[in-house]
Amino acid sequence: MKISAFTFIKNGTIFGFPYTESIRSVLPIVDEFVVNVGVSDDDTLDRIRQINDPKIRIIQSHWNDRMKVGGYVYGQQKMIAQFNCTGDWAFYLEGDEIVHEEELTKIVDACRTHLDDERIEALTFDYYHFYGNANSYLDSPGWYRRAARIIRNSIRTTAPDGLFWHVLTDNNKVSRYPKSAHTGASIYHYGWVRSEEAMNRKSENVQKYWNKNHSRIDYGEIDQKIVREFRGSHPAVIRAWLPKEEGLFRANPGHILTRREKKHRFMLHLERWFGMELSKKHFDPVTRE
C-alpha cells in the first residue's frame, strides 16, 4: 500500500499559515508529499525546500487571477497537486491543518483496512476548529465537524472549490459526494488562531477568488455559545507556533447575532433536543455490513 499526501500553498508566510508544520505532521506515514507552490511574494518556496525531506516533491504553478467564480482557482490548484500523486490513497491537508502524532497509526490502519473495499472512496476525520487561541474551539452546525481528507486515487474526482471532492460517474455526466468511512482520527485546524492582522491580510488577498469583497475580521464578533474549552493536547509539531494566551476565548459581550448565527444557534438546540447532527457533510457515509 502506498499513501500520497498533497497540498497547495501561496504566500503562506505572509498569510500566517503553519504550512511547514502541516507538511511535517504527516511525513512519517506517507510515501510522498506533493506540494503545489503558487508563485509567491515571500519565502514560502524556500521554507518548504528547507524541510529537506526526500518524500517532498515540489510543483510550481501560476494562479489564474482572472478566474473569480466560486473559489474555482482553489479547486484547480488542489487538483494539480492531486493529479501528481501516485499512491493508492491521496491525503489532502490544507496549510493550516495538522495531524496529531498520536493518531498517525489510526490513519494508516484505516487506509489498510479499506484498501480492498472498493465501496470506500474516501476517509473522513473529525475536526477541531480552534478559534482565537489554542484553548478554544468552535462547536456549531455552521462549522463542519467532519470532512473527507483522504481520497482513493484510482477514481475520477474533481474539487469544485478546493474544500471537498465530487466523484464523477456516468462518463463524467454525473457527480456526487464520495462514499466514505471514518479514520477514527481528527484534523486540528488552526487557521483562526493566527493573528487577526495575518487573517485580514489573507482575506484582503484571497476574497477575489470567490468574487467577494473583503470585510474586516474581528475575532471577538462571534456567538460565545459556540466556543468550547479544549482540554486535550496539541500536536507536538505545532506547539511552538501557537500563541501563549490562557483561558477560554471571550467574544465581545456586546456582539449582536447575525441572521446566520441565529439560524445555527437554533440548529444547535435541535441537535441537543433530538440527538441530531446537522453540520454540512460533503461525503456519503458507508455503513459496514
More confident of the two residues 213 and 44: 44
Q: What is 1-288's CATH number?
A: 3.90.550
pLDDT at position 16? 97
C-beta separation of 10 from 63 below 8 A: yes
Listed by start position, the domains of the chain span 1-288
Of 267, 30, 253, 247, give the one whose Cα is nearest residue 149: 30
In this predicted model, what pLDDT tens digit does every residue of 222-248 receive, in sequence order? 999 999 999 999 999 999 999 998 899
What percentage of the chain carries pLDDT values higher than 70? 99
The 10 Å Cβ neighbour count of residue 46 is 11
pLDDT at position 209? 87
Q: How far apart, in whole angstroms, are the C-alpha atoms of residue 48 and residue 53?
A: 9
What percentage of the chain carries pLDDT values higher than 90? 88
| DSSP per residue, the chain | --EEEEEEESSTTTTT--HHHHHHHHGGG-SEEEEEEE--SSSHHHHHHHH--TTEEEEEE---TT--STTHHHHHHHHHHHTT--SSEEEE--TTEEE-GGGHHHHHHHHHHTTT-TT--EEEEEEEEEESEEEEEE-STTS-SEEEEEEETTS-EE-SSSSS-EEEETTTTEEEPPEEEEEEEEEEEEEETS-HHHHHHHHHHHGGGGT-------TTSS-GGGEEE--S---GGGTTTS----S-----TTPPPPHHHHHHHHHHHHHHHHT---S--SSEEPPP-
pLDDT at position 289? 43
In this predicted model, what pLDDT tens digit does every residue of 140-184 receive, in sequence order? 999 999 999 999 999 999 998 888 999 999 888 889 999 999 999
Task: Count Cβ atoms within 10 A of the Cβ of residue 283 and give its class: 0-12 exposed, 13-18 middle, 19 or more buried.
Answer: buried
In this predicted model, what pLDDT tens digit does every residue of 177-218 receive, in sequence order? 999 999 999 999 999 999 999 999 999 998 888 888 899 999
The pTM of the full predicted model, rounded to 2 decimals, is 0.96
pLDDT tops 70 at residue 288? no
Determine the Cα angle at 141 with ends 162 and 256, to 5°.
Answer: 105
